[in-house]
Structure 1
Amino acid sequence: MATAAPSDKFLDEIDETFLSCGVCSERYSNAKVLPCQHSFCEHCLIKLVEKTGQPIHCPLCRRKHDIEVSDLPNNYFINEISEAFKNRDVGSQEPKQCVCEKSHANQRCLDCALDICDACARAHLRMPLTQSHRITSLESYQSLIVKDPSSVHSATYCDKHTDSAVKFYCDSCEVAICLECTVIDHRDHKQRYLKDAAAEYKDELVANAEQLKVKENEVHDSKDTIQRMVDSLETRYRQEKKRLEIHTEKTIEEITRKIRNASKQLMDELKDEYKNREVNLRVQIKELESSENSIKYAREYTNNLMHYGNPVHMMSAKNGVTSLLTEIQTLETKQTPVDDDDIQFIPSDNSSMIQVLGALQCKPTYVIGHVPDMTRVGDNINITVTTKKGNAYTQKQSLRAEIKTPDMKTEDVEVKDNKNTSLSVRYTTKMIGEHELSITAYKTHVFGSPVKINVIPKKGLLRKFGGKGSAVEQLRNPYGVIMTRNRNALVCDTGNNRLQIFTLDGNHLNLIEFTNFAEPFSPRYSAISDDGYIFTTSYKKVVVCDVNGKLIRVFGSKELQYPMGLAISPINGNVYVVDNGSHCVRIYSQLGVYMTSFGSSGTGDSQFNGPWDIAIGNTGNIIVSDLRNNRIQIFDNNCRFLNVFGGRGTKEGELNSPQGVAADTDGCVYVCDYHNNRVQKFDPQGKFIARIDSIEDDVSSHRGIYVTDDKPFGKVVVTEWNRGCVKVLTQ
């Protein structure tokens, strides 16, 4: 019997189901990893997108990922292990053929993951692109894959510098980089060797793996406990079912005997009643028959006397006949029955017969009514709880409710009886964030408990910060506002010629100034690239810097007359700049290369009169505020006109000098309706949805706007030009 190769021993330690795709159930083929860290075959994901369309719904956790399959990273770890399994299945003991197909392979290039012969190995090391590759014998490779599997993985090359291997890690950007990246894109960042960072992260993974093992054991124990309860419940059910069947048969026999006795007694009573009534009625009939005979005789005698008697006969019988007729006239001939036939059997109520057998004694099964998944702070949460069996009013003492607040404190919740076989659970929210409501009966969670409830702020003004002035933390004539990658507010402090960064709670973090320009740095609007660089419009130019204020580049001075709003497309990465002075939108690469423009002066479609700000949605649609035309125009990713909405006025959906615009993750459009002193929200097609602020919020002369990606409703952040402040509104 052939002994297993060292690689087989290593592979035997891995459960092969780890390498099965969750869609096709086959071994992975070019595994791609989703942002949720679940991996699937590339061809399976392509078929999934063709069937359901974007966004991609993870088949395992059902999370949505709005990303192209081609943009998903490879799962190198799974792919290499899958390849190792494939090689073993083919037969690791048989000689392997070199890629040149002339000789057997006895060497392996670890960086290319190729098995080659001696001649190919020497040629490999003479080539410029592969002369630094690691080549070892297949025997050594088989030994290394057991002792140190990570040392034989193929090299990973930089996406930007494709001939440079990734060997370093940027802690500032949290990304693996190559040697060229360390001196170009990440020169002033905190860097270290990739293997050192991986060793440190491995310690974290070990700790996390131990925690996951504990959670896995808890789940396993819980399943065992519940399964034992299911088994016990089934046993108890069968026992009680047998008892009920035996008791039912005995009860049927006993009830049958009692019913037969009761029937006999009722029959006897019925018969006696019948006989008594019958005797009375028959006696009455006899008396009437006697009277009938007497009357008949008197009538016949009188008739015969009148027709056949002579005067002597009639007069001699006068006294006797008169006495008879007088007696007959006194007889009671009109009589009613002395008794009636009112004899009736009334059956007992059969619905109560079940009580003869006994009754089931069970804990009531509670049913939770509608629970809102979202509410606002200060609102009341009212939940009705009913029972499938029994009276909820009598079971009030068995029900308990409590809520865990976002600060991990637990509060008891009032349970009230409604006097109508239902209970009410009531709680007044006091804190913003996710709450967990638990309802238990007899110390056990009722079905559907616990439930998560997201408490969002009250609609309207949440807070404001800044203040008119030139000191740090103060603002003068601010224009645009955006969110940094750390979810902080970057404000164009236009009047003070600087950028300022605040938390959304209003805490000041940093300011950015440039004093070496020919004209003062007068920031209008900003946008942030995927690399974290800040693009800001200033006098006749666009200034690019990092979050620490380091100047990267300046561009646009040849084309731009009066730049205002700008945005970076999530589709093609290009920079779109509103040129207010030229009534158009100019397009640049992020390196500052001018590409083209669209729009001209006028009032028609694709024409502008003083365009002001721009936003680009997730789908690439371009949204431009057309200031003096009092409207918003929307274009597709190729700058083709799609739609227009607004129009001068004060009604809902009408605009007066719209300035700042923003789009949320659902494609809805938010507009600073400047002279109407309000913020309006529209759907992606331009239909009015709602006014975000209220009169009490006192929004005035607002020029910049940004919408956060909070769910279910993002916060709306606006700058007030005349007051030098930033206001945060909730929807």
Structure 2
Amino acid sequence: MRGKGASGNSKCCVCDSQPADAGSLACEHGFCHDCFGRYVNGSLAELSTRLRCCVCGACSRLAVETRDETVAMSFGRDFPPRLRRPTALAVRRNTGEFVLVDRASERVLVFDANGLINTDFAYVYDTLPMTGLTVTDDDCIVVPARDRGYRCLSFYTLDGAFLRSTYVATDAVIEGVAVAPGDWLVVADSANACVHLIDDRRRFIRSASVDQQPGDSHRPCLAGVAVNSVGEIIVSDSANDCVRVLDADARWRFSVGCRGERPAQFNCPRGVAVDADDNILVADSRNNRVQELSATGKFRRYVVRYNRGDDVYMSPTDVATRSDGSVAVLMTGVRDSDVGEVRIYAPV
């Protein structure tokens, strides 16, 4: 919602001290990030199609999508193989290929960088009802599974050949898996509110609790995990509607967010990812959007915001980044609808 006369060098019309880099209304009044969150998303009357400026009272229409939010490519919904209940998305780092788990078809699917199917295969063990997925530096596909009551990670080649399993715990509910520096793996366990660490030889090393912090209303429920270039662990907490950042030893550093619709607020955050600059991307599922935060947790931008009137049967549940800076968003059916799609957004 940038006004036709807005400039990146203009000052915020409220505090007159920060650049108006969060956006401007049609009346050309611009706001910094702090004032935009306080005034535009707070005291302004947000109607179904417009915002009212708190400075002059002029109304601005709300766009469904801005130019930066236009889908560059999508697949999985209109052409076979159609996704039915995809639960997780990963991107192969050096080729840009997409890897997905589809719970309805009980298969792992590998698509090329253009969204065309390369291969698909059935997994050896029953996957958990909600599952993570990742691709290691040596091109192994890692899928959480269960085997005779134990929760484990199953490793496959890109062609679907089963390699091995690493057992994690008997009562774990694995919601996310991420590759850490040194080709270690970090596993998010929602049932035990902890992360499990797997070394580069695929041996279970230890578990670390993600403790409830002051101000939290509920015990943490981890829904996604990512690891940045310095080894910090980022987990989404769908119970407390926040994102937590842990150090490389899995000790809590800080949390970002609470329940809400303003920037850096969430409603059931799910998948998380990091880009080449360690910015954090969050699939804010019940707010129907994907947010980008800085490595220190400051709101940067919306990657995409979906109009509540569109895609009422799908919401963003996972997110991944590609080497060219584009962002892949996994849309999954709600209310048990058998539909899914991957949407790719070009880098800004």
TM-score higher than 0.5: yes
Match of 1:529 among 128, 136, 140: 136
Contact 1:460–1:692 under 8 Å retained in 2:
no
**Aligned partners of 1:672 and 1:678 also within 8 Å:** yes
Matched, 1:588 2:202: no
Which has the higher Rg, Structure 1 or Structure 2? Answer: 1
Q: CA deviation at 1:662?
A: 0.4
Report 1:450-461 matches (<5 A).
459-461=69-71
Match of 1:56 in 2: none
CA RMSD for the aligned pairs? 2.5
The alignment partner of 2:108 has SS state of strand
Deviation sequence 1:659-708 (CA, Å, 0-9, x none): 00000010100000011000001011000011111346957422111011
Q: Can you list the C-alpha shifts for 1:554-575, whole angstroms capped at 9, x where unaligned? A: 12253452111011211x4321
1:592 is displaced (CA, Å) by 3.4
Aligned to 2:317, which of 691, 703, 706? 703
2:255 to 639, 644, 648: 644
Task: Choose from 550, 562, 575 the match for 2:185.
Answer: 575
Higher strand share: 2
* 1:466 maps onto 2:82 in alignment: no
Aligned length: 267
Deviations 1:129-152 (A, max 9, x none): xxxxxxxxxxxxxxxxxxxxxxxx
Q: How does 1:464-613 map to 2 (within 5 A)?
A: 464-467=74-77, 473-484=81-92, 485-515=94-124, 517=125, 519=126, 524-539=131-146, 540-570=151-181, 572-600=182-210, 602-604=212-214, 609-613=220-224
Deviates more, 1:659-668 or 1:479-488: 479-488
| Residue 726 of structure 1, aligned match among 333, 342, 347 | 342
Q: 1:635 aligns with which of 236, 242, 246?
A: 246
Give a deviation string over 1:425-483, Cα, whole Å, max 9, x none.
xxxxxxxxxxxxxxxxxxxxxxxxxxxxxxxx954211221128xx9511121122111
8 Å Cα contact 2:223/2:236 also seen in 1 = yes
Aligned 8 A contact 2:195 2:250 in 1: no
Q: Is the 1:493–1:523 Cα contact (8 Å) retained in structure 2?
A: no
* Aligned sequence identity (%): 22
Q: If the length of structure 1 is used for normalisation, what is the TM-score?
A: 0.35
* Contact 1:618–1:667 (8 Å) recurs in 2: yes
Structure 1 residues 678 and 623: alpha-carbon distance in aligned structure 2, compared to 1, 3 A threshold: same
What amino acid maps onto 2:155 in structure 1? V
- Separation in structure 1 between the aligned mates of residue 271 and residue 321 of structure 2, nearest angstrom: 11
Instruction: State the TM-score, normalized to the length of structure 2.
Output: 0.70
Which SS does the other structure have where 1:692 is aligned?
strand
Query: CA deviation digits over 1:463-516, x for unaligned, max 9?
Result: 221128xx951112112211124221111212221111112422111112125x
Amino acid at match of 1:497: E
Q: Does 1:659 align with 2:270?
A: yes
Q: Distance in 2 between matches of 1:605 and 1:538?
A: 34
Q: Give the deviation of 1:594 after TM superposition.
A: 1.7
Contact 2:168 2:204 in 1 (8 A): no
1:605–1:616 CA distance, 2 compared to 1 (3 A): farther
Q: Does 1:680 align with 2:287?
A: no
1:604 to partner: Cα distance: 4.3
Deviations 1:508-548, CA, capped at 9 Å, x for gaps: 11112125x3x468782222222111111234221111101
Cα-to-partner distance string for 1:282-337 (whole Å, 9 max, x where unaligned): xxxxxxxxxxxxxxxxxxxxxxxxxxxxxxxxxxxxxxxxxxxxxxxxxxxxxxxx
**Unpaired segments ≥5 residues, structure 2:** 1-66, 334-338
Secondary structure of the structure 1 residue equivalent to 2:286: helix
Query: How far apart are the structure 1 equivalents of 2:129 and 2:164?
Result: 16
Between the aligned partners of 1:605 and 1:490, the Cα distance in structure 2 is: 37
Code of the residue aligned with 2:84 in structure 1: it is: R
CA–CA distance in 2 between the matches of 1:611 and 1:472? 32
Query: In structure 1, what residue type is equivalent to 2:99?
Result: L
Q: Give 3-state SS (helix, strand or coil) of 1:675's partner.
A: helix
Q: What amino acid does structure 2 have at the position aligned with 1:481?
A: L
CA distance in 2, matches of 1:494, 1:639: 30
Q: Which digits, 9 at most, give the CA deviation of each residue in 1:338-363, with x for residues without a partner?
A: xxxxxxxxxxxxxxxxxxxxxxxxxx
2:128–2:144 contact (8 Å) kept in structure 1: no
Query: Could you tell me which amino acid in structure 1 is paired with residue 152 of structure 2?
Result: K
Residue 510 of structure 1 aligns with an amino acid whose one-letter code is T
Relative to structure 1, is the Cα distance of residues 575 and 462 closer, same or farther in structure 2, using a 3 angstrom cutoff? same
Matched ranges for 1:373-522 at <5 A: 459-467=69-77, 473-484=81-92, 485-515=94-124, 517=125, 519=126
- After superposition, residues 298-447 of structure 1 pair within 5 angstroms as none
Structure 1 contact 523–537 (Cα < 8 Å) conserved: no
